[in-house]
């Protein structure tokens, strides 16, 4: 996955924290100091201010502040009992326990915030306490500490040290973001090479395809139609942008479009419900239009992420009974949170003929939840290469010096208890796509005049 896409995931998480609202919560019922189970966070709430702290074994750093009246930007709050609180954001439910006071390290963190060695130590401990995949990523984490703990790190060295360490992990959800001096975040652009290829594949196989919405690459968000031999083809290029509440008057694309969409969604108290309603209605129409086909192809080879809940809504249209899909748990400093299990019920309109899911190494994050779910569905066959293998929601942490550390902290497992982090969801029929995004796109584009190997493989399998 390219560095640009990694930034996309970071910014998506950064903004989505501000688009969840709920019913009014009585002020007095939430007052207190609340420590989240896992995730390394503490929230303090009084009658005026909500403080968010990033916590490790050696640090307690104030990350952000909200006015008490704006607390619902953090999610749906529910007081379970005198000592227990939950916060819900979309599919995510966080559990918090009330504690008596902030850690003593809160004072030390403020006085040492600009010390490079202290920031390195906090970085190391945050990763050590929250990141569960050092073994899978073939990283000896203790040796990293031993290499740098006795060295005096200069300010201009710190960013290179941390970025080089993160690069070795090769985890698309683990990144370091360094704000500019004015507090703004780096701006990134996108190219249209992938969008051009998506359109070429669509037009090669489908006459008069239906195009819906705009993806981050500027072309159709979801495109579909029927091939000449009566096979439905659905190309899904992002797992977000399905709400119909926001317009794109300037025909924006890339990160400009992403930021505009997320900024608009901040004022919508029903954003996640609207995303679900949008994809549900669209999939209902698609299933109706493709009901007479012999099979359906779902192409997520170019899908770089979005919302897990969109993936689950799509999958609901290809099952006939309640289906248990996967579980997830978060890393604790000394273990894991209690696993949460995810099941779905069939949609109102479903398709029960053969379904083929096309994947590549560029299939990353939210579309991997779709691929993970298909492992529990018998009539879905996967073709292509392993997905990228980055399933966790991004955990955003702030270092004492203000730099943003994003990391994977959740373990997703299929119904047998297998985790596919760093490996990716395997196909039933393998195609040796390149791991390099540019080479992958270039090779597909070079051969498209003679067809697409994955789609043609589907045709051969149907004929058997």
For residue range 82-134, what is the model confidence (pLDDT) as tens digits? Answer: 899 999 887 889 999 999 999 988 877 778 899 999 999 999 999 999 999 99
Place of tokens 């390099």: 436
How much is the mean pLDDT over the chain?
A: 90
Q: What are phi and psi of 49, to 5 degrees?
A: -130, 145
Q: What is the percent of the chain with per-residue pLDDT over 90, rounded to a whole number? A: 77
* Res 28: pLDDT: 65
Choose between 245 and 351: higher pLDDT.
Answer: 351
User: Each residue of 193-218: pLDDT tens digit?
Assistant: 899 999 999 999 999 999 999 998 88
Structure tokens at 381: 């066959």
Residues 89/18, Cβ–Cβ less than 8 Å: no
User: Each residue of 136-145: pLDDT tens digit?
Assistant: 999 999 999 9
> Which of the four pLDDT bands, split at 50, 70 and 90, describes residue 13?
very low
Q: What is the percent of the chain with per-residue pLDDT over 70, rounded to a whole number? A: 91
What is the C-alpha separation between 204 and 195, in angstroms, rounded? 14
Residues 257/323, Cβ–Cβ less than 8 Å: no
Q: Which domains does the chain have, with CATH numbers?
A: 193-393+410-463 (3.90.226.10)
Choose between 414 and 91: higher pLDDT.
Answer: 414
326 by DSSP, 3-state: which? Answer: strand
* Res 286: pLDDT: 98
What is the C-alpha separation between 365 and 131, in angstroms, rounded? 17
CA distances from residue 221 to 7, 345, 372 in whole angstroms, order as listed:
20, 25, 21
Residues 287/349, Cβ–Cβ less than 8 Å: yes
Query: Given phi > 0 = left and psi -120 to 50 = alpha, else beta, which region is 433?
Result: beta
User: Each residue of 72-89: pLDDT tens digit?
Assistant: 888 889 999 989 999 988
* Res 374: pLDDT: 98
DSSP 76: E
Helix axes of 366-374 and 308-315: crossing angle, nearest 10 degrees = 30
Place of tokens 């439910």: 93
CA distances from residue 430 to 130, 261, 365 in whole angstroms, order as listed:
34, 36, 20
Q: Maximum Cα–Cα distance for the chain, whole Å?
A: 70
Strands 59-67 and 49-56, sheet pairing: antiparallel
Q: Can you give the pTM of this predicted structure?
A: 0.90
Choose between 459 and 248: higher pLDDT.
Answer: 459
Q: Residue 392 CB: number of other CB atoms within 10 A?
A: 22
Place of tokens 């009084």: 46
User: Each residue of 378-405: pLDDT tens digit?
Assistant: 999 999 999 999 999 999 999 999 999 9
User: Each residue of 239-283: pLDDT tens digit?
Assistant: 999 998 987 766 777 878 888 888 888 777 788 889 999 999 999
Cα pseudo-dihedral 229, 234, 237, 242, rounded to 10: 150
Start-to-end Cα distance in the chain:
35
> Which of the four pLDDT bands, split at 50, 70 and 90, describes residue 184?
low
Structure tokens at 75: 């999610």
> Which of the four pLDDT bands, split at 50, 70 and 90, describes residue 6?
very low
What is the C-alpha separation between 333 and 129, in angstroms, rounded? 4
* Res 2: pLDDT: 46
CA distances from residue 364 to 59, 92, 136, 314 in whole angstroms, order as listed:
32, 19, 17, 16
Which helix (DSSP H) or strand (DSSP E) does residue 167 occupy?
helix 155-169
What is the C-alpha separation between 371 and 4, in angstroms, rounded? 23
What is the C-alpha separation between 452 and 146, in angstroms, rounded? 50
Cα pseudo-dihedral 345, 424, 238, 413, rounded to 10: 30
* Res 186: pLDDT: 61
The upper half-sphere exposure of residue 399, i.e. CA atoms within 13 Å in the direction of its Cβ, equals 29
Helix axes of 141-148 and 116-130: crossing angle, nearest 10 degrees = 170
Q: What are phi and psi of 51, to 5 degrees?
A: -105, 135
Closest to 201 (Cα-Cα) out of 446, 365, 387: 446
């Amino acid at each position: 996955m390219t560095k640009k896409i990694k930034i996309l995931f970071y910014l998506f998480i950064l903004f989505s924290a501000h688009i969840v609202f709920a019913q009014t919560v009585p002020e007095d019922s939430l007052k207190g100091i609340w420590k989240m189970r896992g995730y390394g966070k503490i929230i303090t709430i009084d009658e005026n201010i909500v403080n968010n702290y990033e916590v490790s074994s050696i640090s307690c750093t104030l990350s952000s502040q909200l006015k008490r009246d704006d607390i619902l930007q953090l999610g749906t709050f529910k007081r379970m009992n005198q000592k227990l609180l939950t916060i819900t954001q979309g599919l995510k439910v966080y559990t918090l326990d009330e504690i008596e006071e902030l850690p003593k390290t809160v004072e030390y963190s403020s006085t040492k915030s600009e010390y490079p060695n202290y920031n390195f130590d906090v970085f190391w401990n945050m990763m050590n306490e929250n990141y569960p995949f050092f073994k899978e990523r073939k990283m000896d984490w203790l040796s990293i500490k031993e290499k740098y703990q006795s060295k005096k790190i200069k300010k201009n060295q710190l960013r290179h040290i941390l970025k080089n360490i993160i690069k070795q992990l090769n985890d698309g959800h683990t990144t370091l973001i360094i704000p500019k001096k004015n507090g703004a975040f780096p701006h990134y652009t996108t190219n249209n090479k992938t969008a051009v290829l998506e359109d070429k594949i669509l037009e090669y196989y489908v006459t008069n395809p239906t195009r819906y919405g705009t993806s981050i690459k500027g072309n159709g968000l979801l495109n579909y139609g029927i091939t000449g031999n009566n096979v439905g083809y659905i190309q899904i290029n992002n797992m977000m942008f399905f709400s119909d509440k926001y317009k794109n008057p300037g025909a924006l694309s890339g990160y400009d479009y992403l930021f505009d969409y997320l900024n608009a969604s901040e004022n919508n108290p029903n954003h996640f419900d609207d995303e679900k309603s949008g994809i549900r209605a669209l999939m209902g129409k698609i299933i109706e239009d493709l009901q007479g086909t012999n099979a359906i192809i779902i192409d997520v080879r170019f899908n770089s992420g979005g919302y897990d809940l969109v993936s689950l809504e799509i999958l609901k249209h290809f099952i006939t009974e309640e289906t248990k899909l996967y579980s997830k748990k978060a890393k604790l400093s000394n273990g894991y949170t209690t696993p949460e299990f995810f099941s779905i019920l069939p949609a109102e309109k479903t398709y029960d003929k053969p379904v083929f899911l096309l994947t590549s190494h560029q299939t990353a994050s939210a579309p991997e939840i779709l691929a993970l779910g298909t492992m529990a569905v018998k009539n879905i066959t996967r073709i292509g290469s392993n997905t990228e293998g980055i399933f966790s929601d991004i955990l955003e942490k702030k270092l004492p010096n203000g730099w943003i550390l994003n990391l994977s902290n959740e373990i997703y497992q299929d119904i047998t208890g297998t985790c596919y982090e760093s490996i990716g969801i395997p196909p039933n029929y393998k195609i040796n796509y390149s791991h390099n995004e540019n080479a992958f796109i270039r090779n597909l584009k070079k051969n498209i005049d003679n067809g697409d190997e994955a789609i043609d493989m589907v045709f051969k399998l149907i004929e058997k």
